[in-house]
């Protein structure tokens, strides 16, 4: 798959592709290996010490639906509702209201790429940097409240409108960069067999409903299918490990 975007004409590109790549002989295509993972049955947690870090951070990862699943697009929207900017649910709850975090970032397929460019197993990851004086469990409790609330109540019409606008705008911003546009076209071609899906993403996002968001949270954002890593400065380790044990 070769995608070319920019100040070129199709004729010129096809001619050059023929000239430089046409002589490569055709080969049989290797069978696609099965990289599916066995379902996760229980929450996994660990604490790691960091010699040089000054503040602790948490990473929480949930298994995402396969690409072809109709749930995948709801997962993309949920990931952005939770993590996208200062208006996001996690930023507002953890940083602003409960004051248990300094920074929140994440999303479906974060930080590897956009929520639309994974083929095999993928995660929704939340990355939370939190103040040294706050216990890991307090961060997790605040986090779980947000997830449970979204699973129970879904998104209001105003919230849906906002996230649709933001995701449309972000999608355009990605496509504004020619090499990203080429990359997106090649991913959609390889993974979906459809280069034009690049044009359908904003519409697909706009069709996700509050009910789908609730259903997604209940099915995928569950404790048994998540892994939590707490990385703490070595000096704080004893304290935070005890807090983590207390939370089990």
What is the contact surface with other proteins in residues (CB under 8 A)?
A: 7, 51-55, 84-87, 92, 95-96, 99, 102-103, 129, 131-132, 161-163, 165-166, 168-170, 172-173, 176-178
Quote the least distance from Cβ 159 to other proteins, whole Å: 9
Any idea which residue has 């990359």 for tokens? Answer: 183
Q: 64 or 80, CB closer to other proteins?
A: 80
Token pair 């100040």 is found at 7
- Nearest to other proteins of 16, 245 (CB atom): 16
Contact (CB, 8 A) for 180 and 5: no
Q: Measured between alpha carbons, how far is 83 from 104 in angstroms, rounded to an integer?
A: 7
Nearer to other proteins, 17 or 177 (CB): 177
Residue 129's CB: how many other CB atoms inside 10 A?
A: 17
Q: Using N-to-C axis directions, what is the helix angle for 136-153 and 210-220, rounded to 10°?
A: 140
Q: Given the complex with other proteins, which of 68 and 173 has the nearer CB atom?
A: 173
CA-based nearest residue to 56, from 133, 161, 157, 170? 133
- The distance of closest approach from Cβ of residue 130 to other proteins in the complex, given in angstroms and rounded to an integer, is 9
In the bound complex, what is the minimum distance in angstroms from residue 236's beta carbon to other proteins? 12
User: Minimum distance between the CB of residue 20 and other proteins, rounded to whole angstroms?
Assistant: 11
Q: Shortest approach of other proteins to residue 106 CB, angstroms?
A: 15
| Bond preceding residue 111 cis, omega within 30 of 0 | yes
Cβ proximity to other proteins, 67 vs 162, nearer residue: 162
User: Could you please report the per-residue DSSP string of 152-184?
Assistant: HH---HHHHHHHHHHHHHHHHHHHHSHHHHHHH
């Amino acid at each position: 798959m070769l995608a070319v975007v920019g100040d070129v004409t199709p004729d010129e590109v096809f001619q050059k592709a023929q000239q430089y790549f046409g002589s490569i002989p055709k080969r049989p295509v290797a069978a696609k290996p099965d990289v599916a993972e066995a379902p996760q049955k229980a929450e996994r947690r660990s604490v790691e010490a960091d010699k040089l870090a000054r503040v602790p951070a948490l990473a929480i990862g949930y298994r995402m639906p396969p690409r072809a699943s109709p749930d995948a697009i709801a997962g993309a929207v949920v990931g952005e509702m939770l993590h996208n900017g200062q208006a996001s649910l996690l930023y507002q709850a953890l940083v602003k209201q409960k004051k248990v975090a300094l920074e929140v970032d994440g999303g479906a397929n974060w930080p590897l790429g956009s929520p639309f460019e994974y083929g095999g197993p993928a995660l929704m990851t939340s990355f939370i940097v939190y103040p040294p004086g706050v216990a890991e469990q307090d961060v997790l409790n605040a986090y779980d409240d947000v997830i449970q609330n979204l699973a129970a109540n879904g998104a209001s019409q105003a919230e849906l409108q906002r996230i649709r606008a933001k995701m449309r705008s972000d999608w355009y911003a990605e496509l504004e960069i020619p090499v990203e546009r080429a990359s997106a076209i090649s991913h959609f071609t390889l993974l979906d067999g459809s280069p034009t899906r690049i044009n359908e993403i904003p519409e697909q996002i706009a069709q996700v409903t509050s009910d789908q968001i609730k259903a997604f949270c209940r099915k995928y954002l569950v404790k048994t299918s998540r892994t939590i890593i707490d990385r703490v400065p070595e000096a704080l380790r004893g304290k935070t490990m005890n807090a983590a044990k207390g939370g089990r």
